[in-house]
Structure 1
Amino acid sequence: MTAQQLDAGGPLIPQPAMTREALRDAVRRIDMASLPVLDKECNEAFDRAAETGAINPLRFFLIKWATHVAIHRWPARSAALLEAERVAGDPRATEQEFRAAMETSSRILAEAQAEIGQ
């Protein structure tokens, strides 16, 4: 990552393929604190898929973490979501502030899901 990328507001990394290893590597690079959660959820999804014979748990895992990466690879997007979540959870927030925060959260999630093709 170069200083120019950050100054231009660009992504820290390209959006990775929607595979377990590519997403794990991306999370390791941009959001190391979430890596234990990713590993735990990956193991749980694998176990559920093995128990049920369905691939949906694996698919949901990949979609969730691809969305996470799509958000966190853009520092401004990640910061905006964090602030929106803070405001939405603040009992002192006005109704207008709450609604604006919810709109911001929805917009960010929609942008991220569009990036991953969902």
Structure 2
Amino acid sequence: MSNDSIFKKIIEKKIPANIIYEDEIVTAFKDIKPKAPIHILVIPNILIASSNDINKKNKDILGHMFYVAVNIAKQKKINKEGYRIIVNCNKNAGQEINYLHMHLLGGKKLNAL
């Protein structure tokens, strides 16, 4: 699979994004079409197309993604009132970009699923 998605371009700084966190494993930035006052995407710095592509070699990346999302929630002070972390898998679940990404949503009361 080609790794020329918009997310790869954000990681490589080829297109601008409001990056709020990055390290050697993940990059986190504000969603350009937010569904809540705080809507941040956390993506791995290597291509994993969807959660179906998590394997023995890359599984630790998911734990780091959660760790980063929780720390951002604490930074944004939404950890007490609550937040949602979502990972969509494939088109019927709403995954629009074939690159694994985690949505961190908060800052208001979210509707029940």
Under TM normalisation by the shorter chain, which class is it?
0.3 to 0.5
Tell me the TM-score normalised to structure 2 length.
Answer: 0.32
Structure of higher CA gyration radius: 1
Kindly indicate which of the two structures has a greater share of residues assigned to strand.
2
Q: Which has the higher contact order (CA 8 A, sep 6+)?
A: 2
Kindly indicate which of the two structures has a greater share of residues assigned to helix.
1
